[in-house]
Homo-oligomer: A and B are copies of this chain.
Amino acid sequence: MRYYEEKHFVEDISLYFEQMGLPRMAGRILGVLLICDPPEQSLTDLCEILQASKSSVSTNTRLLTEMDLIERVASPLPRQVSFRFKPGGWTVFVRQRLKLWASLHDIAEQGLALLQGRDAASDERLREAHDLFSLIEEELPALLERVESKHKEGSR
């Protein structure tokens, strides 16, 4: 993390992650793993690069691993675990966010059930949500697959 621009990039990613409701440190780690050379870094490396505690980094690498955004890879050094950004991680990420959005779909349905017997205008409030999220759920997966297939091709 020698250069000013790299720090800036990492901080941008961390703020983005914060907006998404995830810990900043997780964003920082991901930020480093997106631009580091080599692309694998051990936990200790990350601590040093980010000037952060082992506990914090360990916790957040675990989080990112569970989210399937990064993965552990064999390290040349013994007793070291290396992490790297997981190919395809971005589509996984979008899929997860999409799932979050989609939960509103179900909530809207429950709401509509409550409004049984009211006038159509009342329904409109929730029907809009229901239809919107149905459509998104329907259409986005195809979009994601397009991106996936394109990148699998590229990495051959």
A residues in contact (CB < 8 Å) with B: 5-6, 8-9, 12-13, 16, 19-21, 33-35, 37, 39, 85, 87-91, 94, 97, 100-101, 103-104, 107, 110-111, 114-115, 118, 121-122, 124-129, 131-132, 135-136, 139-140, 143-144, 146-147, 150-151, 154-155
Q: How many copies does the complex hold?
A: 2
| Complex alpha-carbon distance, A103 and B14, angstroms | 12
| Complex alpha-carbon distance, A31 and B22, angstroms | 24
A-B contacts, 6 of them at CB < 8 A, read A9-B114, A12-B107, A19-B21, A34-B126, A35-B115, A135-B147
| Complex alpha-carbon distance, A17 and B85, angstroms | 29
